Amino acid sequence: MPLLIVLCCIIGLVLLISWGKINPFLSFLIIAILTGLLLKMPVEKITGSLQKGMGDTLGSLAIIVSLGAMLGKLVAETGAAQKIASVMMNISGMKNIQWALAFTGFIVGIPLFYPVAFVLMIPLIFSVVYKYKLPAVYVGLPMLASLSVTHGFLPPHPAPSALVLMFHANMGTTLLYGICIAIPAIVIAGPLYSSTLKNISSSSLQTFQSKELSADKLPSAFSSFSIALLPILLIATASLLPIIFHDKTIISICQFVSEPSVLMLIALITATCTIGFQSGRSIKELMVDYAESVKDIALILLIFGGAGAFKQILADSGVSNEVAIALQGLHLQPLILAWLIAAIIRVCVGSSTVAGITTAGIILPMMNQPGINPSLMVLSIGAGSLMFSHVNDIGFWMFKEYFNLSVKDTIRSWSIMETIVSVIGLIGVLILSLFV
């Protein structure tokens, strides 16, 4: 019965947004409250879950999304995005631009958390889109497939790292196996699948659109790439220095700098003082640009908060635990069972991290059985936790709102891409299990 209620509420959410034309933020609040009532949660707990879900989501996203929008605006307005697009196209060529972006996404996605990497890479994607008049989904999906795969499969991301510790798996071995599985998943779900989506029309946020500048007014290639990739360089440096120097002060500074909100702020200040002023803009003009960029993403932040509130209602109602208990009675190969439990919890709850951690707690007693490779179990659960992202997942709404798509086209592109990644991941795990 609880699963039926969740299914009906998700369908109701889709209908409110697509057929009823109700603002997604309001739709989320309405459906979240209705879901809590139907699942017989105490009224006072419903309001608490709404506040916690919105607070947790916006607390982690509001700063980095806002700073990311400002940085994206600056990169677009100064011509840095135009320069980056030109250089990338010269190196890869028009035919290989998807592969170049997929490779970039994979490199960027390993050290950066998904929301941070998503926000950072969006200006780069749309710089290529506007410069060469290419379909946005066709160009952007390969890079985002890479980011999603690294988020779900590879340490040091939160869920895979937590699973490695829970199952006492080897971090290096898990990373090596994960890369072997990640490559085919990215290739199939990214460049190959997105080639079938050229007819999906998309117009991005005004923030990432800028007028064409003449070549002599563009910043240098070094400046453009340095500023766009500065957050990545900062986090890479902050990760390496503690390994080289064991001084406590250095370690503390690196931990502080590697916080997403701090490194985004450092990147924005650096960009303002370099390409911002070099473009001839005054501090007043730059602040106007930044204010305009935040206006563009204000409603998006509310939608993310609404998605977080709905996710929290589903988590606090105990639906994920009921799903897991119901599936424990199935007599399946442990790797397949773990993937299935994670996949169903993911579809019901929306959070890949919740799906992964919940599944790990259920599967843990099985790890004493002979023949179960802990690294492969981590990857199997990771693959399942990426299954069919839809309206109860914040990632779904990030993709939809940034690419300005309908719910139907978002499901057709983003949701199917995530499903392909999940299934290919399971197949990869099962193939590896034959040899290790």
Nearest by Cα to 422 from 307, 340, 353: 340
Residues of the chain where predicted confidence (pLDDT) is lower than 50 = none
Residue-level pLDDT at 205: 62
Report the alpha-carbon distance of residue 402 to residue 286 in Å, rounded.
22
Residue-level pLDDT at 212: 66
What six digits make up the tokens of 397? 């709404």
DSSP letter string, 111-163? TS-HHHHHHHHHHHHHHHHHHHT--HHHHHHHHHHHHHHHHHHSTTSHHHHHH
| pLDDT digits 0-9 by tens, 101-129 | 998 888 777 756 677 678 777 877 887 88
Report the alpha-carbon distance of residue 308 to residue 312 in Å, rounded.
6
Average pLDDT of the chain, as a whole number: 85
Residue-level pLDDT at 112: 64
What six digits make up the tokens of 355? 């799906």
| pLDDT digits 0-9 by tens, 36-88 | 999 999 998 999 999 998 998 788 678 887 887 888 788 878 888 778 777 87
Residue-level pLDDT at 148: 93
What is the distance in angstroms between the CA of the first residue and the CA of the last residue of the chain?
Answer: 41
Residue-level pLDDT at 30: 94
Residue-level pLDDT at 324: 65
Domain ranges across the chain: 2-200+214-433
Report the alpha-carbon distance of residue 228 to residue 120 in Å, rounded.
8
Nearest by Cα to 340 from 390, 391, 371, 383: 383
Contact 238, 255 (CB under 8 A): yes
Residue-level pLDDT at 58: 85
Reported pTM: 0.75
How many other CB atoms are found less than 10 A from the CB of residue 422? 28
Residue-level pLDDT at 292: 85
**Class of residue 148 by CB neighbours under 10 A (exposed 0-12, middle 13-18, buried 19+):** buried
Q: Cis check for the bond before 156: say yes or no (omega within 30 of 0).
A: yes
**What torsion, rounded to 10 degrees, do the Cα atoms 293, 299, 305, 311 define?**
-120
